[in-house]
């Protein structure tokens, strides 16, 4: 961890929306009178019926309720499209950059975005989708993904995007979990020169579960697919039959905009529910201020719309601000490691936002891939998803940003809707590896993990909680408000518990130290160890499994699985490969264990609880710090596990 500070240049600060003095003044105002502050900033979006109430929030266990702008009405799609038409109908809203650089990019104007979104909305209505119904999107990164999101918002349907890398089983669980009426997908999804057969996956998922879900299919590659007569519809055929006008529904600020499934420390993924009004205000405000976005800038967030980053910073935030946003279908290393930088050059990107794992992978390929591209339009660089190591930060700063682009290390979560702690590029002196200071209205606190009391000293380390609400906060777990309360409000009463550990330094800067629960962060993606375990034990030859994270050079954390086989099953390399494949099919490639260790026994307490702390230490090669093993039912299993640990390479 480095304590070197990088202040914004005077020139950058002078042209920025927010400088250091303005940050302090606005931050103080946001904490002293949240209702006045957010009442003012709530006006940045268009309301059909203006709100009179700003904030109505309780974090009290048993009656957790989060309401913002609750008597206001609006339509999110109208905010992202229609309100810009008078001044920007011919401005590019979305630049679509395909997987292969040989295919042409598309420039979609706000008028075209309007027409295509309305058509998609009318098609969905024709398929029977009504206000409040759920629609699952399982799509490549193509413009139709944005049309579909906005079409749902336009008619008041709730979208739930499932990342196209998830398996049919995972997709099926999510379709059923929210009882979706329609799934929108594509024939095949090209990515990194390979194609995923999305429609086939949908067929498999739906066959397992509900058979009557209709499917709207976008023709992306023209590849072969199996068609379910009467249930499947081509998007291009249906679009030709409907009007390019569709009146936006008047929605309440608190009506759900979307559900997004995310992993937790226990059980199956939970459906995070975000609101319409507060979410949009927060996504739009953070996109503008955290990236210092100015009209005419070209903004590129490299995430996939299957994750919250894509929701807030490819679609809703930028479009609510009338921005030009890039949607990239491909991967950083295809056709080669200069792809990101070539796209930056080609589209004259001004703000670039990506994940540390991508930077580490590209850094390893050498500087020439960056240096051969003209990156002179870059103004601000962002990172998200996991702590960034100072080496990657420095490379980003020097090689990509040429020392002239502030780096915003944005800490947030699926649950928070938008950035909670981050530098503001014209205001905050950055430190490599620190997400620095809170955004407006955000009150981070560090609690002592055992006593649960707040540590008031500036220098502190403990668990990270947030003291009060912000408009972008999730509202509930879909269909399970009790789980919402239990997960986020029961361990530390009166606070929102983030699940992260954190250190605050002498300057009051925050440094995320990683998850304190059984969630691991693989390449910036969240994975519940319980999910991988339950996939493993679903295999007929597996008796028991325990999964932990371990440090991985590129991915941040890798997945380390301890597997106990059924009696009489021979542990072979073949079986190891089969289990890897098994997890890929059960969940998806991102959940595939990096290392599987055969474990004749797992360290358990006498009451049968697996002591993961010990398994974590073994996976980390940190045998000196195993702690007390005397409470184990059979302490000898630990020696066996150490002896046969997998080489991390």
Which DSSP state fits 632?
B
- The distance of closest approach from Cβ of residue 469 to ligand WT7 in the complex, given in angstroms and rounded to an integer, is 17
Nearer to ligand WT7, 167 or 498 (CB): 498
Distance set, CA 579 to CA 217, 504, 512, 534, 561 (Å)? 32, 41, 33, 12, 10
Q: Is 389 in the site for ligand WT7 (CB under 6 A)?
A: no
Nearer to ligand WT7, 129 or 548 (CB): 548
Is 82 annotated as belonging to a binding site? no
Is 134 annotated as belonging to a binding site? no
Q: In terms of C-beta density within 10 A (0-12 exposed, 13-18 middle, 19 or more buried), how is residue 95 classed?
A: buried
Distance set, CA 322 to CA 80, 218, 646 (Å)? 7, 26, 51
Is 600 annotated as belonging to a binding site? no
Is 7 annotated as belonging to a binding site? no
Q: Which of 320, 327, 384, 561 binds ligand WT7 (CB under 6 A)?
A: 384
Here the tokens at position 486 are: 């239990």
Characterise 108 by phi-psi region: left (phi > 0), alpha (psi -120 to 50), beta (else). Answer: beta
Here the tokens at position 65 are: 């309720």
Q: Which residue is nearest to ligand WT7, using beta carbons?
A: 414
Stated length of the chain: 649
Candidate ranges 81-89, 382-390, 484-492, 529-537; the one touching ligand WT7 (CB under 6 A): 382-390
Question: How, if at all, do strands 251-252 and 73-74 pair?
Answer: antiparallel
Task: Provide the β-strand partners of residue 259.
Answer: 160, 273
Question: SS3 for 138?
Answer: strand
Q: Which of 521, 529, 557, 597 binds ligand WT7 (CB under 6 A)?
A: 521
Q: Which of 8, 34, 271, 387 binds ligand WT7 (CB under 6 A)?
A: 387
- The distance of closest approach from Cβ of residue 581 to ligand WT7 in the complex, given in angstroms and rounded to an integer, is 25
Nearer to ligand WT7, 411 or 560 (CB): 411
Nearer to ligand WT7, 218 or 420 (CB): 420
Q: Is 435 in the site for ligand WT7 (CB under 6 A)?
A: yes
Nearer to ligand WT7, 441 or 499 (CB): 499
Is 192 annotated as belonging to a binding site? yes
Q: Which of 526, 539, 592, 616 binds ligand WT7 (CB under 6 A)?
A: 526
For residue 397, report the phi and psi dihedrals to the nearest 5 degrees. Answer: -65, -45
Question: SS3 for 643?
Answer: helix
- The distance of closest approach from Cβ of residue 435 to ligand WT7 in the complex, given in angstroms and rounded to an integer, is 5
DSSP string, 449-513: TTT-PBP-SSSEEEEEEESS--TTS--EETT-HHHHHHHHHSSSTTSEEEEEEEEE-TTS-EEEE
Residue with tokens 């099953």: 569
Candidate ranges 47-55, 520-528, 585-593, 608-616; the one touching ligand WT7 (CB under 6 A): 520-528
Using CB under 6 A, count the residues that bind ligand WT7: 22
Q: Is 262 in the site for ligand WT7 (CB under 6 A)?
A: yes
Give the span between the Cα atoms of 547 and 167, in whole angstroms.
20
- The distance of closest approach from Cβ of residue 526 to ligand WT7 in the complex, given in angstroms and rounded to an integer, is 4
Is 220 annotated as belonging to a binding site? no
Give the span between the Cα atoms of 388 and 400, in whole angstroms.
15
Q: Is 436 in the site for ligand WT7 (CB under 6 A)?
A: no
- The distance of closest approach from Cβ of residue 383 to ligand WT7 in the complex, given in angstroms and rounded to an integer, is 6
- The distance of closest approach from Cβ of residue 287 to ligand WT7 in the complex, given in angstroms and rounded to an integer, is 13
Which DSSP state fits 634?
-
Give the span between the Cα atoms of 435 and 397, in whole angstroms.
15
- The distance of closest approach from Cβ of residue 283 to ligand WT7 in the complex, given in angstroms and rounded to an integer, is 12
Closest CA to 210 of 140, 136, 152, 150: 136
3 state SS for 125-179: HHCCCCCCCEEEEECCCCHHHHHHHHHHHHHCCEEEECCCCCCHHHHHHHHHHCC
Site for ligand WT7, residues 404 to 433, rule: CB under 6 A: 409-414
Question: SS3 for 425?
Answer: coil
Site for ligand WT7, residues 452 to 511, rule: CB under 6 A: 498-500
Distance set, CA 21 to CA 11, 321, 427, 431, 583 (Å)? 15, 24, 8, 19, 51
x/- track of binding to ligand WT7 for residues 9-38 (CB under 6 A): ------------------------------
- The distance of closest approach from Cβ of residue 547 to ligand WT7 in the complex, given in angstroms and rounded to an integer, is 17
- The distance of closest approach from Cβ of residue 490 to ligand WT7 in the complex, given in angstroms and rounded to an integer, is 18
Q: Dihedral sign, CA of 114, 117, 119, 122?
A: negative
Is 504 annotated as belonging to a binding site? no
Nearer to ligand WT7, 120 or 463 (CB): 463
Q: Is 309 in the site for ligand WT7 (CB under 6 A)?
A: yes
Give the span between the Cα atoms of 322 and 445, in whole angstroms.
34
- The distance of closest approach from Cβ of residue 75 to ligand WT7 in the complex, given in angstroms and rounded to an integer, is 26
- The distance of closest approach from Cβ of residue 414 to ligand WT7 in the complex, given in angstroms and rounded to an integer, is 3
Q: Which of 274, 311, 475, 515 binds ligand WT7 (CB under 6 A)?
A: 515
Is 500 annotated as belonging to a binding site? yes
Characterise 417 by phi-psi region: left (phi > 0), alpha (psi -120 to 50), beta (else). Answer: left
Here the tokens at position 436 are: 């620095």
Task: Provide the β-strand partners of residue 215.
Answer: 183, 232
Q: Which residues are at the interface with ligand WT7 (CB under 6 A)? A: 262, 308-309, 384-387, 409-414, 435, 498-500, 512, 515, 521, 524, 526
Residue stretches of the annotated binding site for Mg(2+): 537, 539, 542
Residue stretches of the annotated binding site: 191-194, 309, 385-387, 409-414, 500, 515, 523, 526, 537, 539, 542, 584
Residue stretches of the annotated binding site for ATP: 385-387, 409-414, 500, 515, 526
Residue stretches of the annotated binding site for CoA: 191-194, 309, 523, 584
């Amino acid at each position: 961890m480095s304590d070197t500070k990088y202040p914004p240049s005077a020139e950058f600060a002078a042209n920025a929306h927010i400088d250091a003095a303005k940050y302090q003044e606005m931050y103080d105002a946001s904490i002293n009178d949240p209702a006045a502050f957010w009442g003012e900033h709530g006006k940045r979006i268009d309301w059909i019926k203006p709100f009179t109430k700003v904030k109505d929030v309780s974090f009290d266990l048993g009656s957790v309720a989060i309401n913002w702008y609750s008597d206001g009405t609006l339509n999110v799609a109208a905010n992202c499209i229609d309100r810009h038409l008078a001044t920007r109908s011919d401005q590019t809203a979305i630049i679509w950059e395909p997987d292969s650089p040989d295919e042409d990019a598309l420039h979609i104007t706000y008028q075209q975005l309007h027409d295509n979104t309305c058509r998609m909305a009318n098609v969905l209505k024709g398929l029977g989708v009504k206000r409040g119904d759920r629609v699952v999107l399982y799509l490549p990164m193509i413009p139709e993904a944005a049309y579909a999101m906005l079409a749902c918002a336009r008619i008041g349907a709730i979208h739930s995007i499932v990342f196209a890398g998830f398996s049919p089983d995972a997709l099926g669980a999510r379709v059923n979990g929210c009882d979706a009426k329609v799934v929108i997908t594509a024939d095949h999804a090209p990515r990194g020169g390979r194609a995923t057969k999305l429609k086939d996956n949908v067929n498999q998922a739906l066959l397992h579960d509900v058979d009557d879900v209709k499917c709207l299919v976008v023709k992306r590659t023209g590849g072969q697919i199996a068609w379910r007569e009467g249930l499947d519809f081509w998007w291009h055929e249906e679009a030709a039959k409907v009007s390019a006008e569709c009146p936006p529904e008047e929605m309440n600020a608190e009506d759900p905009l979307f559900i997004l499934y995310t992993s937790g420390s226990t059980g199956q993924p939970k459906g995070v529910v975000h609101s319409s009004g507060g979410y949009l205000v927060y996504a739009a405000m953070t996109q503008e201020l955290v990236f210092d976005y100015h009209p005419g800038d070209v903004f590129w967030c490299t995430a996939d719309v299957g994750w919250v980053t894509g929701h807030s910073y490819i679609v809703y935030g930028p479009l609510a601000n009338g921005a030009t946003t890039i949607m990239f279908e491909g991967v950083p290393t295809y056709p080669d490691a200069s792809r990101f930088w070539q796209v930056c050059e080609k589209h004259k990107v001004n703000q670039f936002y990506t994940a540390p794992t991508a930077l580490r992978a590209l850094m390893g390929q050498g500087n020439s891939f960056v240096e051969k591209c003209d990156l002179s339009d870059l103004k601000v660089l962002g990172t998200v998803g996991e702590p960034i190591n100072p080496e990657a930060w420095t490379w980003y700063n020097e090689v990509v940003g040429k020392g002239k682009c502030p780096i915003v290390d944005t800490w947030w979560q699926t649950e928070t809707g938008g950035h909670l702690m981050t530098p503001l590029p014209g205001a905050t002196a950055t430190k490599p590896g620190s997400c620095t200071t809170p955004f407006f209205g955000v009150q981070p606190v560090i609690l002592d993990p055992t006593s649960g009391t707040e540590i008031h000293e500036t220098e502190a380390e403990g668990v990270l909680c947030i003291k009060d609400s912000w408009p972008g906060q999730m509202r509930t777990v879909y269909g399970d408000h009790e789980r919402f309360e239990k997960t986020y409000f029961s361990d530390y009463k009166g606070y929102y518990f983030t699940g992260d550990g954190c250190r605050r330094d002498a300057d009051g800067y925050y440094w995320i130290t990683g998850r304190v629960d059984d969630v691991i962060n693989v390449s910036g993606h969240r994975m519940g160890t319980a999910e991988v375990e339950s996939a493993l034990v679903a295999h007929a030859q597996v008796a028991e499994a325990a999964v932990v994270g371990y440090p991985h050079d590129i991915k941040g954390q890798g997945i380390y699985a301890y597997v106990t086989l059924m009696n009489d099953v021979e542990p072979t390399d073949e079986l190891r490969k089969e289990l890897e494949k098994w997890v890929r099919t059960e969940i998806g490639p991102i959940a595939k264990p990096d290392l599987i260790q055969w474990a004749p026994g797992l360290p358990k307490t006498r009451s049968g609880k697996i002591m993961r702390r010990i398994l974590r230490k073994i996976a980390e090669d940190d045998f000196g710090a195993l702690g007390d093993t005397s409470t184990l039912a059979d302490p000898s299993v630990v020696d066996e596990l150490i002896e046969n640990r997998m080489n991390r390479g």
